[in-house]
């Protein structure tokens, strides 16, 4: 399976993502610069965290207009798995690939620590290697991770089982309904604020994030091999 790790000016978690795929997962991966226009040679697209374009205007707003995002939308329409982490989640909402928006943290401070997450839906291509309701420990590092959407959107998210991860216990950033990660209606685009790529080895403090990437590979192999 071949992964693309997108790189924008200001990305700073791209190397972490590359390491998770190449060294921990053992799959093929390449960096792809933001001005690329063709992602057809990749099976999955990863949009890493960081501060794309310095977080000017709104976090992810400028990156959402990059050339590569047209190709990301095409990949999403084809059903390929798209994962956006932290700034990647912000980019996905700004690009209209996921509903809602990420606002400033409720305490108006940057938060960087490991938090417990609850797996709310283990029936997705990103979570099939977790147990339903499992508590996992994944790091967060963001200043604008407060997920918000209107009541109608929230109702749809619940009805379609699109809420994949929630913060277990303390809500670190004020996110609506403790939401930490959601998928689109089709289930092939996941946005989440916590960093699974920073939790792929016990030496990092947790290996709970590795199952997310293993889930993607398992789903792909079941349908392509």
pLDDT in tens, the chain (225 residues): 999 999 999 999 999 999 999 999 999 999 999 999 999 999 999 999 999 999 888 899 999 999 999 999 999 999 999 999 999 999 999 999 999 999 999 999 999 999 999 999 999 999 999 999 999 999 999 999 999 999 999 999 999 999 999 999 899 999 999 999 999 999 999 999 999 999 999 999 999 999 999 999 999 999 887
- Spot the catalytic one: 94, 120, 144, 197: 197
Are the beta carbons of 201 and 193 closer than 8 angstroms? Answer: no
DSSP class of 104: P
User: What CA–CA distances, in Å, run from 202 to 59, 62, 118, 209, 210?
Assistant: 31, 35, 19, 10, 10
Note the pLDDT of residue 175. Answer: 98
CA pair distance 146, 104, nearest whole angstrom: 6
Note the pLDDT of residue 169. Answer: 87
Residue 39: closest CA among 95, 92, 86, 78: 78
What is the CATH number for 64? 3.40.50.880
Answer yes or no: pTM beyond 0.85: yes
Q: How many CB atoms lie within 10 A of CB 93?
A: 24
Find tokens 């960081």 and name the residue. Answer: 50
- Spot the catalytic one: 120, 144, 149, 195: 195
Give residue-wise pLDDT tens across range 64-77. Answer: 999 999 999 999 99
Give residue-wise pLDDT tens across range 161-198. Answer: 999 999 998 999 999 999 999 999 999 999 999 999 99
Note the pLDDT of residue 58. Answer: 87
Token pair recorded at residue 155: 């109702």
| CA pseudo-torsion sign 87, 96, 70, 27 | positive
Question: For the chain, what is the domain count?
Answer: 1
86 catalytically annotated: yes
Q: Where would I find the H helices in the chain?
A: 14-19, 67-77, 87-94, 151-159, 210-224
Are the beta carbons of 180 and 166 closer than 8 angstroms? Answer: yes
DSSP class of 186: T
Residue 140: closest CA among 179, 70, 192, 189: 192
CA pair distance 37, 21, nearest whole angstrom: 22
- Spot the catalytic one: 34, 86, 94, 149: 86
Cα dihedral: 107, 100, 212, 110 (round 10): -20
CA pair distance 41, 153, nearest whole angstrom: 33
197 catalytically annotated: yes
Domain range enclosing 135: 2-224
Half-sphere exposure of 18 (CA within 13 A, CB side): 11
């Amino acid at each position: 399976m071949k992964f693309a790790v997108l790189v924008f000016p200001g990305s700073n978690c791209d190397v972490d993502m590359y390491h998770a795929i190449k060294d921990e997962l053992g799959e093929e991966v390449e960096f792809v610069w933001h001005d690329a226009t063709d992602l057809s040679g990749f099976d999955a697209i990863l949009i890493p965290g960081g501060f794309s374009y310095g977080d000017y205007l709104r976090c992810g707003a400028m990156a959402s207009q990059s050339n590569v995002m047209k190709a990301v939308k095409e990949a999403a329409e084809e059903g390929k798995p798209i994962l956006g982490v932290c700034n990647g989640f912000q980019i996905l909402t700004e690009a209209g690939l996921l509903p809602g928006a990420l606002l400033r943290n409720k305490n108006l401070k940057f938060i960087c620590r490991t938090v417990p997450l609850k797996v709310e839906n283990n029936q997705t291509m990103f979570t099939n290697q977790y147990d339903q309701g499992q508590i996992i420990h994944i790091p967060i590092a963001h200043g604008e991770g407060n997920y918000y959407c209107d009541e109608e959107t929230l109702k749809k998210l619940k009805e379609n089982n699109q809420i994949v991860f929630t913060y277990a216990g303390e809500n670190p950033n004020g996110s609506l309904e403790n939401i930490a990660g959601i998928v689109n209606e089709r289930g092939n685009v996941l946005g989440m604020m916590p960093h699974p790529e920073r939790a792929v080895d016990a030496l990092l403090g947790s290996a709970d994030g590795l199952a997310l990437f293993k889930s993607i590979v398992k789903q792909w192999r079941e349908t392509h091999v």
